[in-house]
Amino acid sequence: MKLHSIALAAVLAGAFGGASAETYNFDLKGGPTVWSTYLVASHGVGEFTDTFTFTNYSVTSNVATSSLINVFNGVNDIDFTSVKLNGVDMSFKNNDWVSTIGFNDVAVNGTLSLVVTGVVTGKVGTTTFYGGNFAVTAVPEPTTYGMLLGGMAVLGFAARRRKQG
């Protein structure tokens, strides 16, 4: 009887999909002011959790921007249930045909971790995917703005002096 229960559980788990967890590590490319990468993840029917870890960028003040999308392919559909960047909730939308994740200019520093959870519905034995861009942009330090303003003042003073002389 016990073997029968185990076999039935295995068949049901395969029929209804299962939970999956994937970890992806990315070295961001580019620099010295913009680093980026393209993300893609695919899943069969069931719940999923994807953890994207980003490294290899520098500068202490940065902002992250991302745009990820899944378009219903007529067989499977993804609905996102949670999106967190370094533990902070990010925005996402689920519509009938399109599910999206998007955020702009989120202050970040150090190693970044984007955790996306969701569920794939549709036909067992097939897969669907979502993908898009992730970028980190350096934010100029306040001293950079001060030097820029100071330089413009010197140029303005020199131009005025030249015009008077």
**Which two three-digit tokens encode residue 137?**
């942009």
- pLDDT confidence of residue 159: 66
- pLDDT confidence of residue 141: 53
Count of C-beta atoms within a 10 Å radius of residue 66: 21
Alpha-carbon span 151 to 146, nearest angstrom: 9
Q: What is the pLDDT of residues 131-161, one digit of tens each?
A: 999 999 987 655 544 556 666 666 666 666 6
Alpha-carbon span 49 to 21, nearest angstrom: 5
Q: What is the pLDDT of residues 91-124, one digit of tens each?
A: 999 998 899 999 998 998 888 999 999 999 999 9
The three-state secondary structure class of 143 is: helix
- pLDDT confidence of residue 6: 40
**Which two three-digit tokens encode residue 46?**
């069931």
Residue 30 region, left (φ>0) first, then alpha (ψ -120 to 50), else beta? left
Q: Which domains does the chain have, with CATH numbers?
A: 19-164 (2.60.120)
Q: What is the pLDDT of residues 1-57, one digit of tens each?
A: 444 444 333 333 444 456 788 999 988 898 888 999 999 999 999 999 999 999 888
- pLDDT confidence of residue 26: 85
Distances (CA, A) of 64 to 10, 33, 101, 106, 143: 42, 12, 13, 5, 22
- pLDDT confidence of residue 156: 67
Q: Average pLDDT of 59-79?
A: 88
- pLDDT confidence of residue 136: 92
